[in-house]
Chain A
Amino acid sequence: MSVFDGLKFRRVSSPIHMLDPRIKFLYVCSIFVVAIVFFELLPLLVLFLFQIPFVILARVQREWVRSLRGAAFLASIIFGTNILFRFMYAGYSLTANDIEYASAMTMRFIALVESFSIFFLTTSPDHLGLALEKSHIPYEFCFAFTTAVRFVPVLAEEAQTIMDAQKARGLELEKGNFLKRIRNYIPVLIPLIISAIRRSLELAEAMEARAWGAIEKRTNLYSLKMKRNDYLLVLVSIFVLIIGIFVRFYVSIPTLSNLLGF
């Protein structure tokens, strides 16, 4: 299980899915900024909790939990190394503050994963491509982007089939020293490359058959229009950013251990 499993888009209709991807990106950026200006556990915890309503609104709890679970391994490494450094830095002793600092760093990572997963779980690659188009990036690039995303699973499956076919003819991929192993992959790579070339030729034909390049200014099935909720999210993002910066500079943040009276 990897972090990426939790980032796979699934179509659900929810107010969050309907949001303009550009604005969602703005939101992710503001969370990102706030997350990296804090080194204390409390605000990062707040940031983490603050995003949970979004997850629930988007109805992607299950995928979200999965992405957190996927991130658990990396999170524990972050925690471990932080503890280790603190431990060595402080002359081989640990205080509650050190543990809290390590937890804060871990929580920062988790809050970031959370915001990214909200973004990717609720934004279809299609909309992402559309957002690119609307950002005045030439259409050819946007088309290349979406087509590439489209063919990732197809090529992955094909690579697997080719490997199976060659294994069935006695190829042992894991045999031999390093150089030999690389050479073992030639019978897999050549068919894969040839098929990719063949595919692109067929794709080009199909594009032509559907009037590719007929006119200068194409239209688009989807439109991105800022709606009420989008403006709302803009406000929320700015609000988060301002509060975050304000707290950073003007409020002294108590540590959790102080609060709990250690």
Chain B
Amino acid sequence: MTAPAAKPAAGTGSRSLRQAHPRYAEQLVKALLMIAALVSVATTIGIVIALIPPTVDFFQRVGVWEFLSGTVWTALFAEPEYGVLPLLAATLLITGIAVAVAIPVGLGAAIYLSEYAHPRTRKLLKPTLEVLAGIPTVVYGFFALAFVTPRLQDWWPFGGDGPEIKNALSAGLVMGVMIVPTIASLAEDAMAAVPRSLRDGAYALGSGRRTVAVRVVVPAALSGIVAAFVLGISRAIGETMIVLIAAGARPDLSWNPLHEMQTMTAFIAGAASGDVSTASFEYKTIFAVGAYLFVLTFVMNVISIRLVRKYREVYE
């Protein structure tokens, strides 16, 4: 190996430091991975593009204010009225019931799994919980209609007529149960990522488990926990099958959870699968409601990202 050494210092020997061949495989892999990353972005853009023209058409005939503040929704009737409030009320009410169930239960489950459970218990319980997230929503919907609603009617202790056959309450409760695994699993991931050293520091100061969980782990994992909430709420707002089956198809602005009511998603699914002609004006109402739903979830996500940035405790 004397030859390279004998060359002057400026030389690099027989082997150049320059790249011998272009690395095509590397570039191909990079391109493929980038395409994979772009698919979801492209889909979102595609949805927005698809929503805009029919929505614009719709608002040329129906005023924006009339749409947003109207209290009667009879879009598919002979003499239609386009007030979206009943659909919005049903969506918010059912989502509210679902979130009221899912956030405490989901967060509680996450804290239990991450801070209290024996490792063996966690190993068993977490996958079980995640299996729940894989149950098709149509099964949940049927469960709400065929099991929960009759039980509610039988046991209704508050007098009055009790829940109707289709009602917001049972749809909301079951939807809450449906999103518990999502929230619990993601929140647990966030808490498990909090460094052990922080817990040790808190325990060494004479904290009990509850204090460590509430004062140290949850604040440190807050951004992940809120992300879990947001994903859960987004699933609830967008959920269609449960509300279609268990909450019904009658727009109702009563805010009474015992009533049958139609959510925005249930209207879209019902109208789109009905016999509405694609050329008709009724068809465009679907897009208007869809666009409104899109804007609502988008705004909610933006607000929650802001909130998280403001309140989270960054470790490392």
Asked if A and B bind, the verdict is no
Q: Which residues of A contact B (CB under 8 A)?
A: none
